[in-house]
Structure 1
């Protein structure tokens, strides 16, 4: 990524070897035969009518019972993708605080990649202290949970140099393994069926499909109009992903199963899109734009910009709340890719139902909230402080902030463990 420093510088766990889940064991209900209606009883003789009396008003007709809303149609996912349990809410399986059985022995940790010090700091979220630190490859950008959630991958993209790599971390020990040479891994995602890792080679405007275990190259897809391709999210059915093009002011819609570009969408203003995240319906997408100081709203199916919401200076990272009702929006506090310390950074809280900002939490004393995730119990939003060499632990009820010093230029930290059945990539897009 030759110019990526010139920026702000960007799964059902193989069902974790568990038994077949309840949703797969249920069979359809058999039909029921209704009993025949009995014949009406014979009428008794009626008495003669009485003399007319005063008129009595007829009882008011009762209002008809409201119709029961029809159940939403099941989502027809791409082959091999785990089912969508609730068609109205793609986040229904990531509520927490429970985790999949295979994750129960994983260490509770915050893994922080530091771009300029070329290392990962490890924070114990209980004590709020750094408990480990280890070197990785050149210019680590993000810590990415694998599709089966059994490996955490550090994407060391080397900023346009030829020695990029991926460093695996074992979440049961918190220790790194041997790095694997990979060209320009700025960010990484996974196909919905878990059969391919998608390395986002930002400097090359390319998506590299690789074996999710060995990282051997399977195929490459050029996305020639997407300058600065870096962040992405998927539709509910997994039939497409939308990638942001940071240096082109646009979005790219990609069919990752067929490995083809479906189209591009130029955003109406701003021009430096960063993170992107689907709403619970899996069709509406929010796009953070650090020059527009807000989020664009996009209909993913129609691939059409439908709205814009002002948030704060340098809008950057996007993270849904654990209950799926809110979107936490990190505003990095600068329009520059290398901003100053103690800038006007903040977090905006958007209500998914109303598409309105309902709270704003400034970073006390200034700061630069960038990328991260939400704790297992939903009580803490963890974000890197990109220009301030610190991490923020933000109380999601009050907005109170705790700061923890880390290495130089922390970027895409992840929180571990996370709820969910599988990971689609980035710092933990689980479903």
Structure 2
């Protein structure tokens, strides 16, 4: 079976060099373990090139089983009722619903064209998906159980990640291969504006007051900050984090946000008040998506090139363990996460 893989990030030569020079930590070779302890929600890791999900026991820190999904599962998101986590299978044109407490597959919705990234609006009325290979953004209405396509919006090249403001009025989407940030008005289902960004914009993150939007520049070494409070986005600052700045994960304190730098093999801690890097953590193997466990002490990141889930102690700044998972691990999530 052929697998379609988006390798557009390799248009930057130093990105390829960083990939090849990455040296992951040694694997642990741990055998399968019993199911997660009662009350401990499993950790889910999406293996994009294996078309499945690794289920990890957070007590023994071992992979206990794999769940088949569809080709290219990249990102996942919790439903508003918190009864399902949705895995978006971009290459299979499908959504897989998984019980976040038992890690059992509940159902699959097919005919969802190219769902690479996905996000619910805060008012829980909209599910927005980014069609990475087909260059569109889809707006779905959510009735509490099913989704209905309301509008398909053609965009720039390679829609990547989505952020929706706190009032559920605007969705911001990065265009990975046309180097743009676009805004979609959810009420009118129309494109509001588009602005240029730096190279290879990936994840996007908005501040709680809806004034600033940050974009990780995977083709560079920075996070680009835009003011979106009045009209089209206006660039206000670039924050140097590390080569391959990629994904965001908010800290539980509402003041800091973490940025994974995929090529630099680091994670930066940004102060949302000063807009400066205040700490850096080593994260081997090409860190990508992140999760923070309840209590705020441990940060999980998928090590994209090492086929590992890496666990970092945020107090000691040390990698405390790596768990072997599948090929090209991408999204990571658990119900027992710190507040976002």
Q: TM class by shorter-chain length?
A: 0.7 to 0.9
Aligned to 2:241: 311
Cα 1:3–1:117 change in 2 (3 A) is closer
Aligned to 2:309: 391
Aligned to 1:223: 154
Residues 66-145 of structure 1 correspond to what in structure 2 (within 5 A)?
107-145=40-78
Q: Give the number of the structure with larger relative contact order, counting CA–CA contacts within 8 Å between residues 6 or more apart.
A: 1
Q: Which moved more, 1:139-148 or 1:309-318?
A: 139-148
Aligned to 2:294: 376
Aligned to 1:286: 214
Mapped to 1, the partners of 2:254 and 2:145 lie a distance apart of 34
What SS is found at the alignment partner of 2:133? helix
Give 1:208 shift.
Answer: 2.0
Mapped to 2, the partners of 1:306 and 1:3 lie a distance apart of 37
Aligned 8 A contact 2:136 2:154 in 1: yes
What SS is found at the alignment partner of 2:96? strand
**Residue 352 in 1 paired to residue 272 in 2?**
yes
Aligned 8 A contact 1:221 1:260 in 2: no
Cα 1:419–1:106 change in 2 (3 A) is farther
Mapped to 1, the partners of 2:311 and 2:295 lie a distance apart of 13
Aligned to 2:80: 147
**Residue 296 in 1 paired to residue 224 in 2?**
yes
Give 1:192 shift.
Answer: 3.1
Instruction: Give the aligned length.
Output: 306
Of 168, 183, 186, the residue aligned with 2:97 is: 168
Give 1:346 shift.
Answer: 0.6
Q: Structure 1, residues 117-166: CA drift from partner, whole Å, max 9, x if none?
A: 111001122322212212111111112111232210111111xxxx4211
- How high is the TM-score relative to the length of structure 2? 0.84
Give 1:106 shift.
Answer: 6.8
**Residue 272 in 1 paired to residue 203 in 2?**
no
Give 1:214 shift.
Answer: 5.2
Aligned to 2:331: 412
Give 1:170 shift.
Answer: 1.0
Give 1:415 shift.
Answer: 2.4
Give 1:405 shift.
Answer: 0.8
Q: Structure 1, residues 84-105: CA drift from partner, whole Å, max 9, x if none?
A: xxxxxxxxxxxxxxxxxxxxx9
Q: Structure 1, residues 188-234: CA drift from partner, whole Å, max 9, x if none?
A: 1123321232222222222223343555433223133x211121212
Give 1:394 shift.
Answer: 1.3
Q: Structure 1, residues 246-281: CA drift from partner, whole Å, max 9, x if none?
A: 1111100111232111100102xx310011111233
Larger radius of gyration between Structure 1 and Structure 2: 1
Aligned 8 A contact 1:111 1:143 in 2: no
Aligned 8 A contact 2:40 2:59 in 1: no
- How high is the TM-score relative to the length of structure 1? 0.67
Give 1:4 shift.
Answer: 5.8
Q: Structure 1, residues 287-330: CA drift from partner, whole Å, max 9, x if none?
A: 10011211001112231110001011111111111111211110
Aligned 8 A contact 1:107 1:416 in 2: no
Aligned 8 A contact 1:137 1:179 in 2: no
Give 1:8 shift.
Answer: 5.5
Of 162, 176, 179, the residue aligned with 1:232 is: 162
Aligned 8 A contact 1:208 1:217 in 2: no
Aligned to 1:42: none
What SS is found at the alignment partner of 1:398? coil
Mapped to 1, the partners of 2:254 and 2:238 lie a distance apart of 20
What SS is found at the alignment partner of 2:330? coil
Mapped to 2, the partners of 1:165 and 1:330 lie a distance apart of 27
Aligned 8 A contact 2:221 2:245 in 1: yes
Mapped to 2, the partners of 1:346 and 1:419 lie a distance apart of 21
Cα 1:256–1:356 change in 2 (3 A) is same
